[in-house]
Structure 1
Amino acid sequence: MYAILDIETTGGKYNEEGITEIAIYRFDGHEIVDQFSSLVNPEKPIQPFVVNLTGINNEMLRNAPKFYEVAKRIIEITDGCIMVAHNALFDNRILTTEFDRLGYPFEKQTLCTVELAKKLIPDMPSYSLGKLVRSLGIPLTDRHRAQGDAKATVALFKMLLAKDISKEIITETLKKDPKRQLAPKLLDIIQNIPSETGVYYMHNEAGNVIYIGKSKNIKKRLTQHFTSDNRKSKKIQHEVKLVSFEKTGSELIALLKESEEIKQNKPLFNRGLKRSNFSHQLTSFVDENGYINLQIEKADGRKKAITTFSNYQQAKTALFKITEENQLCQKLTGLYETKKQCFNYTILECFGACINKESVTEYNNRVQTFLDKRSYENLNMLIIDRGRDVGERSVILIENGVYKGYGFYNLNHQINNPEILKSIINPMQNNRDAQHIIQNYLRRNKVLKTVNLSANMAN
């Protein structure tokens, strides 16, 4: 649990500032579960430059509660939380100083979104809150007011959690959390897990990730893990002490995250999933008569694949569908072995490429149309799908045929700038597994839409 906050002060000498406004959002890693904000009477005048910066003046604070009057609420809303702030050292020092004056030891573990952003989003022109969130397409209202800045920090931290592919934040959080209770029963562990699409992470007592999985219903899948009596499940049940999760909304993003994060984190119980996700591929060649032929073969990284398949039967079923939808010849797609005409020619469903009757140009045009449609080589596109909640969409970026990564954006702040798009994208590896997952998913499932990108970024 996190307490994400922002504090405005009177300004002045180091350790002599007083709090003029505070806002705190209690955040469970997925959504805000409680919030508090208030002006605070600092019992000292505000520096003029601060008045100009924040708009908060002495008159506004005359009847505001003093710090001791809001201290109890601050303690309650931050109880058991890691404190998160932009320049967390400053906010922590201010709060610690105020509580010291009351004789109360206010000690919190902290995470700083400035430091996290520098690590997870390198090479940004500025890491000041205003400029950073603007670069990332995060809305910010009431700049230099506690509630507006804290709300923007929540959105920034949520983005940083998503970009943390190596899961360092959650692992460090678990290690830092002094009040973390190790659930005595497996069912207690999944009590607050949602029945939604996403990726889940099983942690051992040290907080390290020991298993990564994905599901369209995380709670249901975890229940299966914890009620199975096979050997692997029994070992997991013995080792797991806590489960964290990330909602993705999109099953495609869940598949991609699972594949990437297993490779990166190498969890103990994911050994069987480190191999490739596909065994067969579809390739093409031109025969002696000039016709483009399609064929299924075993996956081979040395050869260029049109698309890949998890197994041979899946490949054969897909090729039958491709042949039918594009009016291709079963002989030239390797589905009907013969030295004469194919079966479809005898029932007038093939135009005769099998016996050199159809024009090479006409036949190859249909094959090429299929190839252009199926392959995203050299293509710039967005794959838009459901987000983690109603007001959000997920986006996957393909640039010059290369999978660049995924991100999320608010429907009220649609993507219309290539730089903002690239800043919200969580960079991912463009390996053959990722290509297989995307192609296989698009072949078998519907997404909300795909968008071809021109010189002017469209949404």
Structure 2
Amino acid sequence: MYAIIDIETTGGQPAQDKITEIAIFIHDGEKIVDKYNTLINPQRPIPYFISNLTGITDEMVKDAPKFYEVAKEIVEFTEGKVFVAHNVRFDYSFIKKEFADLGFTFQRKTLCTVRLSRALIPGLPSYSLGKLCKSIDIELTQRHRAIGDAEATAVLFDKLIKINRPVVDGNMNMAADNTTQVLKEEIKTSLLPPNIRKEQVDALPMVPGVYYFYNEAGEVIYVGKSINIKKRIIQHFNIDYKSRKSLDFKNSISDITYETMGNELVALLFESAEIKRMKPQYNRQQRRSVFNTGIYVYEDGNGYKRLTFGSVNKADNVNMTPIIALSNQFKAKGFLYHKVGKYNLCQKLCDLYKTNGACFDYQVHQCQGACVGKESPEEYNKRVDAAIESFTFEHNSFVIIGKGREPGEKSVVVIEHGTYLGFGFVDETFSAHNLEDFKGAIKRYNDNKDVQQIIRGHLRSKHKDKVIVFD
């Protein structure tokens, strides 16, 4: 049994928008046997542009039941049935969220008629509901109303499951079995993007690397990395729909490729380089620096070296280069508090205690008085310099040797005079006597604050890589 469903909502984000109408058509595998439709009071205003699109107004839903008042009927209509919809993740995610708000877990097998249409009627110019119905002569009335779209989807579903598949050896049962098998496969893979086949996902490796999503035009639209490529990509496809943008992203994925990297460090470094090189459409956050807050040092009028923090793009810092960059101001403040404690610095001179007088630590005898001129700039600045020294790599020139992409191979990451030069792969029998030998084994990549932070984070982790120092 199948429950073919369509909903209308106050917007495109399940986390904050609500359902305004739901329609359900029950199909027993042969024909439509029942239906259910109701407006729903979303308990919030419907945006004007949404009312323009759907025709559903605040006045229309004013006396309609609230979701909790129809929840039991929805459960009963869908229980034991496959949840069918056109772009199923949209409708399914909204309904799951509505039930979650009531403290109820709504879970059904799902089937997407976009994927099913692509499998059974390949080669059409578009699989949007309106254009698909026009292509195969399905009447679509009351467009953008749940009752109209659900009915059209139900008729589409009926046509799809009754398509005469090619007869094998004159056996008509073979044709029916073929369509049934397609249905079973599509239920299993309903969470995949419409253009991605199960075989593509099954063939993905479970190793560290970088993966690429492409659109139908062959353009890279997203670059990601993982210590397990297959697992991460399946997570992409299985997460609940959060917004219209995330649904558009998922539906636009038409191909997947990958590069194995052997370990997480080189995967992170390569991902960062590829995002900056390709600037994929859906990597907007990552193609800009993810380290947006800098730690800066300057000398004040009294000769004290002062540490502060602020946006790496802030106009005030246009003539200043950050010593280190972190992801946000909260982490920057935490970082500075740690250095203040470790190197006995002044909170006030590190922009952590706003006052015209002494800082709090001085009042409890934990600051030596630089904030009120009790400690000389020369003595105080020695500790600031020691703190700054700890911001950078522990060693000036070094090589990180990690796991390679296959047995008998190692990865090599080279840093010279504090600058990241790049990475490469060598045979485990590779013999190097100096830094120059390692430099000859890598591919050069640009140094930037992002990769510096990646390497620092890796060195602070409980890694098992070998570090060779050339200071």
Q: Which TM-score applies when normalising by structure 2?
A: 0.51
- Matching of residue 199 in structure 1 with residue 199 in structure 2: no
C-alpha change, 1:375 and 1:207, in structure 2 (3 Å) is same
Aligned to 2:341: 324
Correspondent of 1:256 among 269, 272, 276: 269
Correspondent of 2:439 among 416, 422, 447: 422
Count of aligned pairs:
273
* Residue identity opposite 2:264 in structure 1: E
**Alpha-carbon shift at residue 444 of structure 1 (Å):** 6.7
**Alpha-carbon shift at residue 317 of structure 1 (Å):** 1.3
SS in structure 1 of the partner of residue 202 of structure 2: coil
- Matching of residue 213 in structure 1 with residue 230 in structure 2: no
CA distance in 2, matches of 1:361, 1:443: 31
CA distance in 2, matches of 1:337, 1:241: 54
C-alpha change, 1:186 and 1:417, in structure 2 (3 Å) is same
CA distance in 2, matches of 1:344, 1:392: 53
CA distance in 2, matches of 1:313, 1:400: 30
SS in structure 2 of the partner of residue 382 of structure 1: strand
Correspondent of 1:338 among 336, 355, 363: 355
Aligned residue runs from structure 1 range 291-330, under 5 A = 291-300=304-313, 302-330=319-347
Unaligned ranges ≥5, structure 2: 1-192
Identity %: 39
* Residue identity opposite 2:429 in structure 1: N
- Matching of residue 402 in structure 1 with residue 415 in structure 2: no
Aligned residue runs from structure 1 range 40-79, under 5 A = none
Q: CA RMSD in A?
A: 3.2
Aligned residue runs from structure 1 range 1-400, under 5 A = 186-204=197-215, 208-228=219-239, 229=241, 230-300=243-313, 302-375=319-392, 379-388=396-405, 392-400=409-417
**Alpha-carbon shift at residue 446 of structure 1 (Å):** 5.3
Contact 1:198–1:247, Cα closer than 8 Å, also in 2: yes
**Alpha-carbon shift at residue 308 of structure 1 (Å):** 0.5
C-alpha change, 1:451 and 1:306, in structure 2 (3 Å) is farther
Q: Which moved more, 1:311-320 or 1:393-402?
A: 393-402
C-alpha change, 1:335 and 1:210, in structure 2 (3 Å) is same
* Residue identity opposite 2:199 in structure 1: D
Query: Which protein shows a greater Rg?
Result: 2
* Residue identity opposite 1:285 in structure 2: Y
SS in structure 2 of the partner of residue 193 of structure 1: coil
**Alpha-carbon shift at residue 296 of structure 1 (Å):** 0.4
**Alpha-carbon shift at residue 313 of structure 1 (Å):** 0.9
C-alpha change, 1:266 and 1:297, in structure 2 (3 Å) is closer
CA distance in 2, matches of 1:353, 1:399: 36
C-alpha change, 1:285 and 1:268, in structure 2 (3 Å) is closer
CA distance in 1, matches of 2:425, 2:214: 26
**Alpha-carbon shift at residue 346 of structure 1 (Å):** 3.2
Please list the CA deviations of residues 21-56 of structure 1 after superposition, one character each: whole Å capped at 9, or x if unmatched.
xxxxxxxxxxxxxxxxxxxxxxxxxxxxxxxxxxxx
CA distance in 2, matches of 1:338, 1:447: 46
- Matching of residue 412 in structure 1 with residue 429 in structure 2: yes
CA distance in 2, matches of 1:183, 1:391: 39
Contact 1:277–1:436, Cα closer than 8 Å, also in 2: no
**Alpha-carbon shift at residue 226 of structure 1 (Å):** 1.3
* Residue identity opposite 2:301 in structure 1: E
Contact 1:379–1:401, Cα closer than 8 Å, also in 2: yes
C-alpha change, 1:347 and 1:190, in structure 2 (3 Å) is farther
Aligned to 2:104: none
* Residue identity opposite 1:280 in structure 2: T
Please list the CA deviations of residues 98-137 of structure 1 after superposition, one character each: whole Å capped at 9, or x if unmatched.
xxxxxxxxxxxxxxxxxxxxxxxxxxxxxxxxxxxxxxxx
Contact 1:378–1:399, Cα closer than 8 Å, also in 2: no
CA distance in 1, matches of 2:407, 2:345: 42
CA distance in 1, matches of 2:369, 2:431: 50
Contact 2:209–2:225, Cα closer than 8 Å, also in 1: yes
CA distance in 1, matches of 2:411, 2:437: 14
* Residue identity opposite 1:326 in structure 2: Y
**Alpha-carbon shift at residue 202 of structure 1 (Å):** 2.1
Contact 1:212–1:258, Cα closer than 8 Å, also in 2: yes
Contact 1:391–1:411, Cα closer than 8 Å, also in 2: yes
CA distance in 1, matches of 2:464, 2:335: 19
C-alpha change, 1:358 and 1:384, in structure 2 (3 Å) is farther
**Alpha-carbon shift at residue 384 of structure 1 (Å):** 4.0
C-alpha change, 1:314 and 1:231, in structure 2 (3 Å) is same
